[in-house]
Chains A and B, each alone.
Chain A
Amino acid sequence: MTHPTAASSHVPGVGHVVPIRTLLGVLATLLVLTIATVAITLFDLGSFNIVLALTIAFVKGALVLLYFMHLRWDRPFHAIVIVSAVLFVTLFIGVALLDTLQYHPDVIPGYAPALKR
């Protein structure tokens, strides 16, 4: 059986096989990003912390989808399915948050017991 080379990753009878170098490279990137996520929590950047954390999470998720889940070389239809699922989650959380934010002024302050620190 021929091994996939960087130039041609197609193995007859099996289909496209991701080269080991690519997989290892993605893994290394993910580990670095994970360390970055934890490192950022050590700095207080206010609300920018969560923006940064979500951005890193988004990049990591995209890498997993594209390389580990083979989406980069699959039929475009599969990408449509994934993206639409993400859109639906965004729709759900977005609209629920919209409602919650609008009635936020009506919440009774101090109703809940204070969290113990």
Chain B
Amino acid sequence: MSSSKTTVGAEQRAAPQADARDDYLRHSRGILSWIFTLDHKRIGVLYLVSILSAFFLGGTFAVLLRTELIGPGKTIVDPDTYNQFFTLHGAVMIFLFIIPGIPAALGNFTLPLMLGAKDVAFPRLNLLSWWLWITGALLSVASILIGAIDTGWTFYTPYSTTTAQKGVLPIVIGVFILGFSSIFTGLNFIVTVHKLRPKGMTWFRMPLFLWAIYSTAVIQVLATPVLGITVALLAAERLMGIGIFDAGLGGDPVLFQHFFWFYSHPAVYIMILPAMGVISEVIAVFSRKHIFGYRFIAMSSVAIAILSFLVWGHHMFTSMSPLANTLFSALTFSVSIPSAIKVFNWLATMYKGTIQLRTPMLYALAFIFLFTIGGLTGLFLGMLAVDVHLHDTYFVVAHFHYVMFGGTVMAFLAGLHYWWPKMTGKMYSELAGRWGFWLVFVGFQVTFFIQFIMGSRGMPRRYYDYLPEFQIYHQISSIGSYLTAVGFFVVAGCLARSLVRGVPAPANPWGANSLEWWTPSPPPHDNFAETPEADDPYDFSKWTLDPGTGGYVRS
């Protein structure tokens, strides 16, 4: 693809107008034009709808299991069904929502636009990624119908190799296929960032979201094959009794844990790195100030990607030998430092900025607050003596919900509200956006903060029943889950309503300077008439607010 050497004309820069017949949503019609699309923007929207559906399904399991836990003993279901609820909640949320999550739903749409490119490097591979997601999702849902599974999303052996539940095989096949969806997306993004940057956009002039997506892509390509092999060996053990994990056949049950966590720990950084990339964008734009410490934030993304591969054993402190325990505990602390660096840089960005408390910014501020709690509680779990007490209790459950939900989901919502006008061409109601935010934020805290206390007091996780002394904690948590659910319905309603009644969005409602804001909202099919010239993505001085359109224009 040849990149144009001319710059965008002054008229186009002033106030790009959407051509009603050529924006990517209206470019072609019919369901086949979507399912067979090669347009990265449409693929992003397909992914968005898909993963939000998965989020709804996973959330339903969450509300069901919290309802069972509102009282000791049986509340609505028997123990086997409850065990299936928590297994499916985890598997659906992790494999179908959060791992594809921000890269697939927001990254697919935004990455080429941020590069001033027409599309990703391999559009057909991109479509294949989505088809593989659909296939894996259908298999996972089928497993629920075939026989369900109750092994927990971690599939520990020998329980998973010996349980009579028939759903294990279909879901691990589904996971295997979903793994390829992730690998292909990662591959696509790596090549796109290497090869499709415009003239003038050196590595250190890329928006930080791209550094985040790139680092995530490296993890996706390097780690996911190990998951594939792990589930393949699990399937072979179940079907053929090869004796790799079954002690009765001479195998080693703990070996499975090494295999599983070698992928699944880097996987959690697949979940959080893109989220941090979104936050870097949103904090800078809504502080109207250049991001502080650009190089350190960029390098910290790469550092996290590399260090994430060295710490998997911290999930296994109660089953490993003392030497391995010591090694992993020491290494685990190393990965906390780059995250801390990011938080301090975001705060420094806000210092002496001009802070606009629009909905995306509210979510970003909540991210900093909640991710701080989540990250600090990770320190508790990294310390050997303390982890022995906290492992497999609700403290761990609260920790990972704070980083995955309080972190990634909040950042996902920040990014969704930030790029919504660009993707849909509509503005949502700020008031409704705020209501949704506060309900989700408060609901989340009520649900999960109490779980820290429950856990450190000794309440184990994955428990259908519990001692009466823990009841009050469970009740508070369950009520929080209902509040959170209401919050999500408000968020969904706010965004859905904007599609019908929203004010048409200007090209640059927020005054950002990364290249996706230089093209109309929604973008035309080909993204840009001519390849724009790269600029400092955090130089907001070039835009001023035009009260007439409600958007920013070139000054």
Given A91-B309, A99-B258, A100-B255: A115 and B250 interface contact (C-beta under 8 Å): yes
A51 located at the interface, meaning its Cβ lies under 8 Å from any Cβ of chain B in the complex: no
B495 to chain A, nearest CB (A): 40
Tell me the chain A residues, 61-111 only, with Cβ under 8 Å from chain B: 85, 88, 91-92, 95-96, 98-100, 102-103, 111
Q: A100-B254, A103-B321 are in contact. List 13 more A-B contacts (CB 8 A).
A: A96-B255, A96-B258, A98-B324, A98-B327, A99-B254, A99-B313, A100-B252, A100-B255, A102-B321, A102-B323, A112-B243, A112-B250, A115-B250
A10 to chain B, nearest CB (A): 23
A46 located at the interface, meaning its Cβ lies under 8 Å from any Cβ of chain B in the complex: no
Given A98-B324, A102-B323: A92 and B250 interface contact (C-beta under 8 Å): no
Interface size class of A (residues with CB under 8 A): 10 to 19
Residue of A nearest to B328 (CB): A95
From B248, B259, B262, contact of A112 by CB (8 A) = B248
Residue of A nearest to B323 (CB): A102
Interface residues of B (CB under 8 A from A): 222, 226, 243, 247-252, 254-255, 258-259, 262, 309-310, 313, 320-324, 327
Complex interface: chain B residues within 8 A of A88 (CB): 222, 309
A113 located at the interface, meaning its Cβ lies under 8 Å from any Cβ of chain B in the complex: yes
B266 to chain A, nearest CB (A): 10
Given A100-B255, A102-B321, A102-B322: A95 and B327 interface contact (C-beta under 8 Å): yes
Residue of B nearest to A111 (CB): B247
Do most interface residues of chain B lie in helix, strand or loop, or is the interface mixed?
helix
Contact with B along A39-77 (1 / 0, CB 8 A): 000000000000000000000000000000000000000
Complex interface: chain B residues within 8 A of A95 (CB): 258, 313, 324, 327
Listed residue (A85, A88, A91) with the most chain B CB atoms within 10 angstroms of its CB: A88
B66 to chain A, nearest CB (A): 36
Give 4 nearest A-B pairs by CB, closest first: A102-B321, A112-B250, A99-B324, A96-B258
Residue of A nearest to B251 (CB): A112
CA distance A7 to B251 in the complex (A): 55
CA distance A91 to B327 in the complex (A): 13
CA distance A85 to B224 in the complex (A): 13
CA distance A85 to B322 in the complex (A): 28
Complex interface: chain A residues within 8 A of B323 (CB): 98-99, 102
Complex interface: chain B residues within 8 A of A115 (CB): 250
Contact A99 B309 (CB under 8 A): no
B248 to chain A, nearest CB (A): 6
Residue of B nearest to A92 (CB): B262
7 contacts between A and B (CB under 8 A): A88-B309, A95-B324, A95-B327, A96-B259, A98-B323, A99-B323, A115-B250
Given A88-B309, A91-B310: A102 and B247 interface contact (C-beta under 8 Å): no
Complex interface: chain A residues within 8 A of B254 (CB): 99-100, 103
Listed residue (A88, A99, A103) with the most chain B CB atoms within 10 angstroms of its CB: A99
Complex interface: chain A residues within 8 A of B250 (CB): 112, 115
